[in-house]
Structure 1
Amino acid sequence: MRQAIHHLHVSARSRGLTEFTGQVRAFVRESGIGMGLLTLFCRHTSASLLIQENADSSVRRDLERYFDQLAPEDPQRYEHDTEGPDDMPAHLRTALTQSQLSIPVEHGAPLLGVWQGIYLFEHRRHASAREVVLHLIGE
């Protein structure tokens, strides 16, 4: 059994979904591990991870609009606003999504579906570089 780990920095320009599937595929390929389990972990509380369709951009826009309605910016609604009006809505959106993903690996590649991509879901208006840890275990 072998392991590989990598700290990946994903830059989101603003709130929304940023695909980084290519970087994940490259890490798996370069690891030399042919079969195993890949774990991705987002080290933040105002951004999350999603596996989502990567063929039609309207899916991403609809998801972003849905979360805007589900956890709107409203200064009257939340007590926590330490970093501005998008602070608490960002935490709520993260709580409703995922900070970790697990993806099987076979033949040196993540076993994603044809239309699946791996995304960082940035929940803050003014994005910064986010760190995602990739850990692969297998043989």
Structure 2
Amino acid sequence: MRKRKWLDKSTGASLVNDRFHVQRLIPEAVDQLKIRHRWEVLDAENKAIREHRRRRKNAALKEERELIGQWDPERMENGETMPQIMACSQHIILKHKSKWNGQQKIRAGILFRIFPDLGKAYGLLLKLVDIFNEKTSAGVARL
């Protein structure tokens, strides 16, 4: 990709389109998608906690409260909760999958299974990085 620069006449700002800027913006977009999903996960867990507390509070008898029990979040196959996975997977999408350790591979598998759009976005990011890292002609890269 060659560097191109435009001037926005209405604002006087210059717009730059080159490999560096594109390659920097794509991971940021994928990270924003992950952040949006993280807030969804946190909101869902907070709602579940509030519902659990409401059920315990509304239980008439002590035996009913004991049956309801303490809050126990849902755990994934690796033993972590979804909020933990979302927090610990911060660097997963910023690294190439070839550089993931074993735990990151497991987290990424869970994350991409639950949020397929995030997996698709990460896959597109990897394809773009591979295009930039290969020495290909402009016509082949466009395809």
Q: TM-score, normalised by structure 2?
A: 0.26
Which structure is richer in relative contact order (CA contacts within 8 A, separation 6 or more)?
Answer: 1
> Which structure: larger Rg?
2
Q: TM-score, normalised by structure 1?
A: 0.26
Q: Which has the higher strand share?
A: 1
Q: Which has the higher helix share?
A: 2
